[in-house]
Amino acid sequence: MKRRYKRVKPRRIRKTSFKASNWAPVLALLATIIAILGVLALIVFVGLPYFLPMIGIEYRVTPTPSPSPTPRPTPTPRPIENTENIADLQKEVVLTTEKRYKWLGDPYIYNDILIFTAGELIDNEAVMNSLLEYDIGSGTMKKIDPGLDNDHYMFPVFNDKWLVYLDARFDGGGCIKMQDLTSKGSEPQILKEVYAGQPELKLSGDYLAWTERTGTNMDKLFVCDLRTKETTVLSMFNSSVYGQSQPDFKDGLLVWADADTVDMQQSGTTSTLYSIRLSDSTVKPYKPGTYVHDPEYNGSGFAWLSGHHGPGTELYYSKGFGMPVKVDEGVVEFGMGSDFIAYCKDETMWVYLIGKGRSYRLTPERERAQFLGVSDDKVLWMDVTSRERDIMKFAPID
């Protein structure tokens, strides 16, 4: 008998649908998130830069300047040349007669006379309620106090003819006051009321300049003739970061920064540095190819920061309207003298000698410093190694 073979029935393999798998909802969610992020990126990086300028609002990304000229390598800092001990350059402002003041600030030097604010601790708050005058040559000190209508003194500046300061309120604002030093017995007069902010004052000859917040989104650059009290608005900044950039005023030349109108429609990361000599009223633009913040002028060249005092901020210098040179990076504050730039980096004071193209360390390694300014070719800083009291120091750079 023949053996009968049973035909094997082929098994039907069921096809599994991907939509029915456990991964389908996860991948669909990821695809949705990626699509949403793509739309948001398109709005932020394409839509806003294109449409906001059309309605008068400036759009700026965080400044990441890429200068068109290739800067020279950053010079290697070294101690001041021809000085065996760098501490010999330092001089401390010693309060011989007004020892009760532990808080000092806003120093300004003219013809070896230093004027600065001084304060006492009142109700656990440092109140800068006095103005002191220190003679660098003799080391003598006296209290001048022209007068306050508000809470404290800020930003005093002076020359042979004028003393100007901000009579400030604790909550912002105050008034700018001026005193004629050539008229014996003259009293301070209110030059202008300030309703918001606390503008830093810049004095050159008979003229005063400052940038002031005048509205919710408006800042204005003012110039005032102290002889007539006539005030002129030189530039306006509407919803602009340049309203927070300080101008500079030396030897009758006023400099300030504003947006590069051509680049503003593109990357928005470069600026125009403007200068005007009040004697001829001609505004000259200079485009260094970087972002410009707090520009300064020393009679022959310009210096500026490439950002808003952050860790990556670079310090630049240009002779006249020439090619800029990167001095250093990580710079917090700076100021210009006749032939040098002083700056603070990592709580250390440095001096860049323009003629040599090199930076030199001014403060010793153990000392922590806070930059206060440059005036009368002298660098001023606060020794903040100990915070029990303010220790103000200065160094003449010849």
pLDDT tier at 60, thresholds 50, 70, 90: low
d(CA 172, CA 298) in angstroms, rounded, equals 31
Enumerate residues 6+ apart whose C-beta is below 8 A from 43: none
Report pLDDT for 94: 80
Query: Rounded to an integer, what is the distance from CA 225 to the centroid of its chain?
Result: 25
Counting other chains too, the contacts that 345-351 makes at CB distance below 8 Å and 24 or more residues apart are: 347/384, 349/379, 349/381, 350/77, 351/80, 351/379, 351/397
Which amino acid would we find at residue 245? Answer: S
Characterize the bridge pairing of strands 78-79 and 358-361: parallel
d(CA 213, CA 194) in angstroms, rounded, equals 8
Work out the average pLDDT over 39-50. 65
Work out the average pLDDT over 348-372. 94
Task: Give 189-239 pLDDT, tens digit per residue.
Answer: 999 999 999 999 999 999 999 999 999 899 999 999 999 999 999 999 999
Report pLDDT for 5: 44
Query: Rounded to an integer, what is the distance from CA 133 to the centroid of its chain?
Result: 26
Report pLDDT for 369: 96
Comparing 22-36, 207-221, 361-375, 377-391, which segment has the lowest mean pLDDT? 22-36
First-last CA distance in the chain: 126
pLDDT tier at 55, thresholds 50, 70, 90: low
Work out the average pLDDT over 147-153. 94
Task: Identify any residues that bridge with 256 across adjacent strands, giving them in sequence order.
Answer: 274
DSSP characters over 84-146: S-GGGG-EE---SS-TT--EEEEEEEETTEEEEEEEEEETTEEEEEEEEEEETTT--EEE---
What sign does the CA torsion over 55, 57, 62, 63 have? positive
pTM: 0.79
Report pLDDT for 71: 47
22 vs 272: which has the higher pLDDT: 272
Comparing 81-90, 242-251, 299-308, which segment has the lowest mean pLDDT? 81-90
Task: Identify any residues that bridge with 231 across adjacent strands, giving them in sequence order.
Answer: 224
Report pLDDT for 44: 63
Report pLDDT for 398: 76
Task: Give 70-82 pLDDT, tens digit per residue.
Answer: 444 444 455 555 4
DSSP characters over 173-194: -EEEEEEETTSTT---EEEEEE
Work out the average pLDDT over 297-317. 94
Which amino acid would we find at residue 283? Answer: V
Report pLDDT for 279: 87
d(CA 15, CA 9) in angstroms, rounded, equals 18
d(CA 307, CA 269) in angstroms, rounded, equals 10
Report pLDDT for 30: 76
Task: Give 93-148 pLDDT, tens digit per residue.
Answer: 988 766 788 889 999 999 999 999 999 878 877 889 999 999 999 999 999 989 99
Q: How many CB atoms lie within 10 A of CB 321?
A: 15
Characterize the bridge pairing of strands 333-336 and 271-277: unpaired
3-state SS track over 344-395: EECCEEEEEECCCCEEEECCCCCCCEEEEEEECCEEEEEECCCCCCCEEEEE
18 has a pLDDT exceeding 60 = no
CB 167 within 8 A of CB 181: no
d(CA 307, CA 303) in angstroms, rounded, equals 13
d(CA 363, CA 58) in angstroms, rounded, equals 41
**Backbone dihedral region for residue 241 (phi beyond 0: left; psi -120 to 50: alpha; all else: beta):** alpha
Work out the average pLDDT over 335-359. 96
Q: Which two tokens stand for residue 43?
A: 């709005």
d(CA 276, CA 297) in angstroms, rounded, equals 11
Report pLDDT for 49: 58
Residue-averaged pLDDT of the chain: 85
Q: Which two tokens stand for residue 73?
A: 């390598």
Enumerate residues 6+ apart whose C-beta is below 8 A from 186: 179, 180
Three-state secondary-structure class, residue 340: strand
Phi and psi at residue 23, in whole multiples of 5°? -80, -20
Which candidate, 59, 102, 353, 243, places its Cα nearest to that of 234?
A: 243
184 has a pLDDT exceeding 90 = no
Task: Identify any residues that bridge with 210 across adjacent strands, giving them in sequence order.
Answer: 222
Task: Give 26-40 pLDDT, tens digit per residue.
Answer: 677 777 888 787 777
Report pLDDT for 68: 45
d(CA 159, CA 192) in angstroms, rounded, equals 20
